[in-house]
Structure 1
Amino acid sequence: MLELKNVSTQYGQIPILMNVSINLEAGEAVCLLGANGAGKTTLLKTILGMVKPVSGEVVFNGQVISKLPPHQIIKSGIAIVPEREGLFPKLSLENNLLMGAYYEEDKAKIQERVKEVFKIFPWIEKRIHQKAGTLSGGERKMLGVARALLANPQVMLMDEPSLGLAPATVNEVFTVIQNIKKEKNIALLIIEQNAQKALSVVERGYVLQKGSIIVQGTSEELYNDDFVQKSYLCVD
């Protein structure tokens, strides 16, 4: 469904991604592990058309999207839950939520999607008129996920869903991810530093280091990989 083929990017003359190839099948959950500065966010920006490859291409549903502007890529069926959520703090939860359906003109479809989101996040329905700026960090993260779901995406990109959250809240967020996997036929690409949590909800994964994929495999293979254990799972 989504594939990066030998993608290289750079900022000015500084290389960021080097011949990166990854793929994501329909309904599959895949994680991308990597430390700060590895190039994970640049990879997401490349998928979304915010950064253009200097070589290689991004393919979505058989179409090369590397040269398309971001709004066309998002409209084609790719949604993102950004690292900082990107919410509008002075607007209500309802108005923030509806931003996810910006490209949908059928009001009946929008209302149906809202009802589906309320099944996953009943607390949003109860607090729908509350301002987004009053939410906790975990609640903001979940509202960001709910907004992405309202776009009815085929692929959801999640940038550091556990970042800055307390352990109990991290558990809640990953429980939501598991529920989405069960109830929605959405392919998930999860960018994460918390390897333990990420590998618990995905089928496969990749490790990005200094702009290159250095390890890839099933979640079980990554759990048992010496480099992953020492670098991300704190196993001696």
Structure 2
Amino acid sequence: MLELRNVSTVYGTIPMLMDVTINVGKGEAVCLLGANGAGKTTVLKTIISMVSPVSGEVHFNGRRIDTLPSHKVIESGIAIVPEREGLFPRMTVADNLLMGAYYEADKKKIKARLAEVLAIFPRLGERYHRKAGTLSGGERKMLGIGRALLADPQVMLMDEPSLGLAPALVNEVYEVIGRIKREKNLAILLVEQNAQKALAVVERGYVLQKGGIILKGSTAELQADKIVQESYLSAGA
């Protein structure tokens, strides 16, 4: 469904991604692990055409999309939950959610999607008319995910959903991700440093280091790999 084929990118003259190949199948959850500065967010920005490859291609549903503007990529069925959620703090929870349905003209579909999201996130219903800037960190994560779901995407890109959250909230957010995967049958590309949580909800994964893929495999294969164990799964990781 989603495929990066030998993608390389630069920021100015600095190489960021080098010959990166990643694929995500229909309904499949895949993680991309890596430390800060490895290039994980650049992968997501390249998928949604915020960064253009200097070589390689990005394909979605058999169509090349790295030549499209970002809004056309989003409109084609890819939603992103950015690392910092990208919310509008002075707008209400309701208005932030509805921004996710920007490209949908059918009001009945929007109403149905909104009901589904509020069923997944009842706390957002409780705070429906509050300003997004007044929400807690965990609530902001939920709002970011909920807004992406309003777009009814085929693929969801999630950038560091555990970042900055207390352990209890990380567990809550990952319970939601697992539920979305089960109930919505979405394809998910999950970018994370928290390998333990990410590997608990995905089928496969990749490890990105200094802009290049150094490992790939099933969840079990990555969990058993010494590099992953020492760098991402150990107590001090």
> TM-score w.r.t. structure 2 length?
0.98
1:38 aligns with 38
RMSD of equivalent CA atoms: 0.9
Structure 2 CA distance, aligned partners of 1:127 and 1:45?
30
Deviation digits for residues 150-185 of structure 1 (CA, Å, limit 9, x no counterpart): 000000000000000000000000000000011102
Matches for 1:35-184 after TM superposition, within 5 Å = 35-184=35-184
Structure 1: gaps of 5 or more residues: none
Structure 2 CA distance, aligned partners of 1:89 and 1:55?
37
Structure 2 CA distance, aligned partners of 1:235 and 1:138?
24
1:112 Cα offset (Å):
0.6
Deviation digits for residues 177-234 of structure 1 (CA, Å, limit 9, x no counterpart): 0000111021000000000000000000000000000000001100000000000011
Structure 1 CA distance, aligned partners of 2:139 and 2:124?
9
1:119 Cα offset (Å):
1.3
Structure 2 CA distance, aligned partners of 1:167 and 1:127?
23
Contact 2:118 2:124 in 1 (8 A): yes
**For 1:42, what is the secondary structure of its paired residue?**
helix
**For 2:19, what is the secondary structure of its paired residue?**
strand
Matches for 1:7-46 after TM superposition, within 5 Å = 7-46=7-46
> TM-score w.r.t. structure 1 length?
0.99
1:235 Cα offset (Å):
6.6
Moved runs in structure 1, 4+ residues, more than 6 A?
none
Structure 2: gaps of 5 or more residues: none
Structure 1 CA distance, aligned partners of 2:186 and 2:24?
11
Q: Does 1:220 align with 2:226?
A: no
Structure 2 CA distance, aligned partners of 1:149 and 1:182?
14
1:130 Cα offset (Å):
1.0
Identity of aligned residues (%): 70
Contact 2:81 2:158 in 1 (8 A): yes
